[in-house]
Amino acid sequence: MKIIHKPNDLRSEIEKLKNTKGLSVGLVPTMGALHDGHLSLIKKCVKENDIAIVSDFVNPTQFGPNEDYAKYPRTLEKDSALCSEAGVDIVFAPAPEDIYDEYYFKHKETTLICPPYDVVNKLCGKSRPGHFDGVCTIVGKLFNITKCNRAYFGKKDAQQLFIIKKMVKDLYFDLEIIGCPIVREEDGLALSSRNTYLTAESRNLALNISQALFKAKELFDKGIKEADTLIDTALSYLEKPGLEAEYVEIVAQENFEKIDTLNKKAVMLIAAKVDSHEAKIRLIDNIEL
Ligand code: PAF
């Protein structure tokens, strides 16, 4: 397995492999701090492609000024060992300066991919203005650098996956986006790199998020189709000291617009903040209905 830092080095390596042997390229974009959720995407990517690339880059443009960019876990050595074990061919681990130019560092502005306002400024985008512009920009850059045939994303970031699929369609990126199921701990907690911030106590509180989703699904399976009833039930799990629901919403899978009655494929999404030490840890999760 190769670890490559410079975009142009990655480009030439891939072009060499692709052109001489006509091989397919799969990409798993990550911000590192790999866990079993990432590994499920990585294993699928390795299985389905001749060349499997994992990008490991904490992308500054998707973090707001008061978010955890500086303290986001950076564990390249451990991540590389996991990738190597999983059969990955290349880990792409650029520095911010390899991806963004001097203009960005001087003016804090760069060329961005900006999906429509209403798509990015709801749900997670409401409390994280600019977040999805940053995500689309880095993902677009990674698609252009790797010219991958397939890219793998987790369904835990459901809004991100929806927006990336839209970007690929709108901008005619020539690749397939593959959404992969959420991976959970045995007790239901969705795997997330931010779980490393949780204490035993706050982890217990965080469990209410998945429990709220499971309960809503149970009621839905019993025939309850009114979004408000399902949302109120979910909210009752989140009304606990130390837990603060940012949103609980139900949207149609086809367009991510709110629905009142679940007469088409839907998804319930939750974002909540959990008190842990002095900090509030923001977690997201969702369930398809
Ligand atoms: O989901 C993530 O980890 C990030 O948003 C992504 C897609 C790697 C872009 O930085």
Evaluate: CB of 137 within 6 angstroms of ligand 1: no
> Is the confidence at residue 220, as pLDDT, over 90?
yes
Evaluate: CB of 60 within 6 angstroms of ligand 1: no
pLDDT of residue 278: 77
Ligand 1 atom 2: residue of nearest CA: 30
**Distance of CA 114 to CAs 2, 65, 122, 167, 195, Å?**
32, 19, 14, 9, 29
pLDDT of residue 15: 87
Mean pLDDT, all residues of the chain: 96
What is the mean predicted confidence (pLDDT) over 193-203? Answer: 92
Query: Cα angle vertex 265, ends 259, 267, to 5°?
Result: 65
pLDDT tens string 232-272: 999 999 999 999 999 999 999 999 999 999 999 999 999 99
What is the mean predicted confidence (pLDDT) over 174-187? Answer: 98
What is the mean predicted confidence (pLDDT) over 122-143? Answer: 97
pLDDT tens string 42-55: 999 999 999 999 99
Query: Using an 8 Å Cβ cutoff, are 286 and 162 in contact?
Result: no
**pTM for this predicted structure:** 0.96
The residue type of 108 is K
Nearest to 254 by CA among 246, 242, 262: 262
Ligand 1 pocket test target in 27, 31, 35, 156 with most atoms within 8 Å of CB: 31
Ligand 1 pocket test target in 27, 128, 157, 191 with most atoms within 8 Å of CB: 157
pLDDT of residue 17: 83
Among the ranges given (14-28, 29-43, 104-118, 173-187), the one the predictor scored with the smallest mean pLDDT: 14-28
> Is the confidence at residue 273, as pLDDT, over 90?
yes
Evaluate: CB of 4 within 6 angstroms of ligand 1: no
- Catalytically active residues, by annotation: 38
